[in-house]
Structure 1
Amino acid sequence: MPDSKYVYIALISLTLLFIAPQPGHSAELSPQQIKTAYIYNFIKYIRWPNEGDKQSLKLAYYGDDKVLLNVLKTLEKQSIRSLSIEVIPTRNINNLSNIDIVLVTKKFEPQLSVINSFIKSRPVLVIADNAIEKQLLGINFINKGKTIGFEINRYNLIYHQLTASKDIVILGGTEIEIASMVKEMEASQESNRKRLSELEAYVIEKQQKLDTLSKQQLNQKQLIAQQESHIQQQLRANKQLETDFELLKSNLSKSKERLNNNNRMLSEKQADLAGKSVEITRLSTQIDRNKQLLLEQQSQLSESRKNIEEHALSLKQKTDTLEKQNSRIKTQMTALYVSIALMLSVIISLVLIYRGFVIKKRINLQLSEKNNLLEETNTRLVSTQNQLVKSEKMAALGGLVAGIAHEINTPIGVCITSSSHLNEVVTHFKQQYDQGNVSEEDLENMLSDIQLGGDLISRNLARASSLIQSFKQVSVDQSHEETRTINFHEYLTEICQNLHHKLKQKHHLVEIECDESLTFTGEPGALAQIFTNLIINSVIHGFGDRENGKIRIKVMQEKEILNIDYSDNGKGIKKEEQEKVFDPFFTTNRSGGGSGLGMHICYNLVTQKLNGDIQCIDSQTGAQFKMSFPASL
């Protein structure tokens, strides 16, 4: 390991000798030409992620140095990796949407933060000249007398998805970055050594398998030899079968002769049988005649039976007529008695119906009064519920305000402390200056303090501005119902940032799996309220006193529908509670101040505002909810 480190340091030294500009040449060239040459080399050593889809690299010049602009125009005659270079002078930030490189001069350094917020994390190389805000750029020119150098912010290049060659990092990177590169190379060598040992073990294992296969092949050869001897035996057996077959053929011919003799005898028997069949036919015709005579006699008997049955039927009809007359007289008497009973029952029924009508009318009046009371009570309940929902919504917004205020308080406090320290430094320096006791060291110390304090103030003010911006958008969305189009991934990130004060208390983590180009058109306030309630429920009910909880939000789009899978690794929801989780006022933390309206609000927002569906899924690892709604409302 030490030898490889010394070899690597020697390579770094040789690279610096060959790449660094020679003093003699620097003296002959103007500063503009030196910077242009450096920029050309920057483009050579840095790669963009989407170079394969480009025909040219666009360099935006954000400055007023016409000499530098004219020298930069000479780069348009050059090409790097089959890509031409296009130089575009501009002072409008909106023209930086399709730019690959931005060169900002010293005069326009205050615009760096605005430029950075505009390009965000797109693959854009930001080059500045003697800039103080070094965390906002990728490469910074350094003017030390007549010598022009540069320094590289490697982490900013990585953030902007740019790949820098090790040579340029060695030339312009800090000692920490070079040391980290050395450690990465040593780690890579250690990984390669482990991989080599694994491959050697793999080769030994394969060699052992090959030996086993060779033994198996030898066994198979022996088996094949045994099978060949068995085949020879089978061939000898086949020859014996052929001789037996010849004997069978001769026996078959003899059998055929005997069969022919049997056929002749059969034909003679058939002739005798034909004579006997003629005799049988004659006897069958005689039997048919006798059957016909029997049928005629049976028909005569059936006619006589029919006459006897008709006489009996007429006698039965007369007796039935007499019985009917008697039964009719009895029926008429019964009908008379029944009619009298019916009249009495109708009179009683009319009395009962009238009495029931009066009672029903009285009951209907009472029911209408009770219905009116129920409607009034229901109206009051709906109004109360709406007020509670609004109160819960505003309470969540109030909690968000308190958390953001706490988050903003830290950077603002640092700014106040830094500014007061700077005032003390300036006051002390002024006193020394008035007394004439100012030395060069005092001046350098004061400038260093001012630079560090200004850097600290600007970074913390940028942090506070970012928090206010994200909170402003989300809070406006929650308090105003306004339809607009948002980037789903960025909006989820802003919601999680606003809830950072809740998550950081127990070091909880939110993972977002969402396509960064996915958009949603509708009321973002509904989304903010839904995810705020879900995350707060996971923190309070799911994690409780636990630390390092994990929340996972996975967003996928199928056609025009957004499918969202929300889950955490908390204690989960019991099966008997899953059916009631969306009911109003249902809570498992009533003693802890839970209102039971959070999930009810989520259900109403998803089903009514977003025209979608939400379900509580049974999970073994924690709580899990699945939502689906249109991507555009």
Structure 2
Amino acid sequence: MSGEPLPCDVEELSTLFLFEELNGEQLARLCREGRVERVEPGYAYREGEPATCFYVLLEGTLVMSRRVGDDDVEISRTSQRGVYAGAMQAYLAAPDQARYKGSMRVTEPSRFFVLPAETFASVLREWFPMAVHLLEGLFFGSQNTQRAVGQRERLLALGSLSAGLTHELNNPAAAAVRATSALRERVAGMRHKLGMIAASPYKRDMLQTLVEIQERTAEQVAKATPLSPLEASDREDALEEWLDDHGIEGGWQLAPTFVQAGLDTDWLEQVAAAVDEQVLEGAVRWLNYTVETELLMNEIEDSTSRVSGLVNAAKQYSQLDRAPYRIADVHELLDSTLLMLSGKIGSTIEVVKDYDRSLPRVPAYPGELNQVWTNLIDNAVAAINDAGGEGTLTVRTALDREQLLVEFSDTGPGIPPDIRGRIFDPFFTTKPVGQGTGLGLDISWRIVVNKHHGSLEVQSAPGDTRFQVRLPLTADSDTPEAPETYETAEALATPEEAS
């Protein structure tokens, strides 16, 4: 917002900490190419607009803010002469490429010395070439450092996830291999038994009845439901007794398999009624191979389905086959992340899912939200482990403040009050050297707040720490074009910071 132009006083500029070391010619150039403006209460500029000017406060009160959702959240407020804001990094890029990274407004009629971004960049390069090189090095070095450490953070997470995924995949894969090997033995035994049956005095109608029983048995195996330990034990005793009464040896070996398949003495009676007594044992053992074969195929199907589910969860977690920005179901994202981290969570931590399934899907960057969930779950698990390794991690979703709430709560020791205000700071960590980069929560905050225009808050007490992520239910018009990198928030410089 343009203000009322006023005369520029060289003497007044020389009293500002920014310009106190400049000579008369330099001050004259600033007055000649810059201007003094009176700005009425309201916005001087808004976040996202082209960064055209560098502002220095002469008198009045200004407020710096950042946009979060539909609101401007106040970052700082000051009346100190000489503080500056605006196109502070104009020397790094062409003015037509730079944008204000925050908003500035005044709460009372205020005076500013205003320097066009082009002039600000020019005088910095001409008067302070070494300083510009140092500032550029500091700026890009900080960016590169943060990018490198952020990459390491992601690689550490990837390594942890890979280890957990490998462990999770190994169990069903090994089960499938074992079942396949056992199935080969059972099929070979079935072929041998079939040859014996063919050489035995079976009548045609007897064989046909046995085949029908075999088909019904296979169907029964597919429908079998687990019994309680007591029920299974009682049924095994009954089956073993029946087999012994009918002269079939090794009934104690056959009975558990039949029970697992959901078969009982009534089924054995059907078999006995279909064949002559002298061939009953051969028929039962042949059908036992059928039962074992079906059970092994079920085990292979369950194992391979588990592997397929883990692969799909990994794909869902990484979002490799999805658009970076889309309408997403947060519950799918949460489930895939919890599954990917199940190995790291372990068996001593109880995971409680308190989901409100009626919540709508939301516009989001799913891959990056998964990174947020990973960081918050990882912190919760670490906190519980610090408290002895046993506890509860609760993941809750709800509608709150007309936003979608995702809350991660743990029963760890809590966050001490003296560091609670610093946990979102870059590179701040309480973990031992080499175990944390201090960027997990900083990256999470930037993803949630800067990229999704949501909020990330923490409430903590011993035994109850809650990280709360709130996401808008609808997209802002500029959300899909949000930058892929997380820039630092624009700071308001003070004399102390400048020195």
> If the length of structure 2 is used for normalisation, what is the TM-score?
0.50
Q: 1:407 aligns with which of 168, 180, 187?
A: 168
Name the SS of the counterpart of 2:163 in structure 1: helix
Matched-pair contact (CA < 8 Å) for 1:419–1:453? yes
Instruction: Find the counterpart in structure 2 of residue 539 from structure 1.
Output: 381
State yes or no: 1:556 paired with 2:317: no
- After TM superposition, list the pairs within 5 Å mapping 1:83-162 onto structure 2: none
State yes or no: 1:594 paired with 2:436: yes
Matched-pair contact (CA < 8 Å) for 2:456–2:469? yes
Matched-pair contact (CA < 8 Å) for 1:553–1:566? yes
Instruction: Find the counterpart in structure 1 of residue 303 from structure 2.
Output: 460
Distance 1:431 1:581, change over 3 A: same
CA RMSD of aligned residues (A): 3.2
Q: 2:184 aligns with which of 420, 423, 435?
A: 423
Instruction: Find the counterpart in structure 1 of residue 355 from structure 2.
Output: 513
Instruction: Give distance in 2, aligned partners of 1:616 and 1:442.
Output: 64
State yes or no: 1:574 paired with 2:416: yes
Residues 186-223 of structure 1: per-residue CA shift (max 9 Å, x gap):
xxxxxxxxxxxxxxxxxxxxxxxxxxxxxxxxxxxxxx
Instruction: Give distance in 2, aligned partners of 1:571 and 1:508.
Output: 16
Distance 1:591 1:545, change over 3 A: farther
Report the Cα offset of residue 577 of structure 1: 1.1
- After TM superposition, list the pairs within 5 Å mapping 1:449-488 onto structure 2: 449-476=292-319, 482-488=324-330
State yes or no: 1:397 paired with 2:158: yes
Instruction: Find the counterpart in structure 2 of residue 444 from structure 1.
Output: 287
* Between structures 1 and 2, the one with greater helix share: 1
Name the SS of the counterpart of 1:369 in structure 2: helix
Amino acid in the other structure paired with 1:444: L
Q: 2:149 aligns with which of 388, 404, 407?
A: 388
Matched-pair contact (CA < 8 Å) for 1:530–1:605? yes
Instruction: Give distance in 1, aligned partners of 2:25 and 2:383.
Output: 58
Report the Cα offset of residue 473 of structure 1: 1.0
Matched-pair contact (CA < 8 Å) for 2:429–2:438? yes
Name the SS of the counterpart of 2:396 in structure 1: strand
Name the SS of the counterpart of 1:589 in structure 2: coil
Report the Cα offset of residue 498 of structure 1: 2.0
Name the SS of the counterpart of 2:404 in structure 1: strand
Name the SS of the counterpart of 1:599 in structure 2: helix
Instruction: Find the counterpart in structure 1 of residue 464 from structure 2.
Output: 622
Name the SS of the counterpart of 1:623 in structure 2: strand
Matched-pair contact (CA < 8 Å) for 2:359–2:399? no
Instruction: Give distance in 1, aligned partners of 2:363 and 2:136.
Output: 38
Amino acid in the other structure paired with 1:562: L
Report the Cα offset of residue 533 of structure 1: 0.5
State yes or no: 1:377 paired with 2:138: yes
Instruction: Give distance in 2, aligned partners of 1:489 and 1:581.
Output: 26
Report the Cα offset of residue 409 of structure 1: 1.2
Q: Computing the radius of gyration over CA atoms, which structure comes out larger, 1 or 2?
A: 1
Instruction: Give distance in 1, aligned partners of 2:362 and 2:171.
Output: 33
Distance 1:358 1:615, change over 3 A: same
Q: 2:346 aligns with which of 504, 521, 525?
A: 504
Instruction: Give distance in 1, aligned partners of 2:170 and 2:387.
Output: 26
Report the Cα offset of residue 558 of structure 1: 4.5
Instruction: Find the counterpart in structure 2 of residue 190 from structure 1.
Output: none
Report the Cα offset of residue 417 of structure 1: 0.3
> If the length of structure 1 is used for normalisation, what is the TM-score?
0.40
Instruction: Find the counterpart in structure 1 of residue 263 from structure 2.
Output: none
State yes or no: 1:603 paired with 2:416: no
Instruction: Find the counterpart in structure 2 of residue 491 from structure 1.
Output: 333
Instruction: Give distance in 1, aligned partners of 2:338 and 2:471.
Output: 21
Report the Cα offset of residue 574 of structure 1: 0.9
* Between structures 1 and 2, the one with greater strand share: 2
Matched-pair contact (CA < 8 Å) for 1:526–1:609? no
Matched-pair contact (CA < 8 Å) for 2:360–2:473? no
Question: How many residues are paired up?
Answer: 278
Residues 270-310 of structure 1: per-residue CA shift (max 9 Å, x gap):
xxxxxxxxxxxxxxxxxxxxxxxxxxxxxxxxxxxxxxxxx
Distance 1:517 1:627, change over 3 A: closer
Amino acid in the other structure paired with 1:568: D
Instruction: Find the counterpart in structure 1 of residue 117 from structure 2.
Output: none
Instruction: Give distance in 2, aligned partners of 1:452 and 1:628.
Output: 47
Unaligned regions of 5+ residues in structure 1, if any?
1-354
Report the Cα offset of residue 431 of structure 1: 5.0
Amino acid in the other structure paired with 2:164: G
Residues 93-116 of structure 1: per-residue CA shift (max 9 Å, x gap):
xxxxxxxxxxxxxxxxxxxxxxxx
Instruction: Give distance in 1, aligned partners of 2:406 and 2:296.
Output: 45
Name the SS of the counterpart of 1:567 in structure 2: strand
Distance 1:364 1:520, change over 3 A: closer
Report the Cα offset of residue 499 of structure 1: 1.5
Report the Cα offset of residue 413 of structure 1: 0.9
Report the Cα offset of residue 373 of structure 1: 1.6
Matched-pair contact (CA < 8 Å) for 1:474–1:528? yes
Name the SS of the counterpart of 2:137 in structure 1: helix
Matched-pair contact (CA < 8 Å) for 1:564–1:626? yes
Instruction: Give distance in 1, aligned partners of 2:169 and 2:456.
Output: 34
Matched-pair contact (CA < 8 Å) for 1:397–1:475? no
Instruction: Give distance in 1, aligned partners of 2:422 and 2:411.
Output: 21
Report the Cα offset of residue 421 of structure 1: 0.7
Report the Cα offset of residue 550 of structure 1: 1.3
Instruction: Give distance in 1, aligned partners of 2:355 and 2:402.
Output: 18
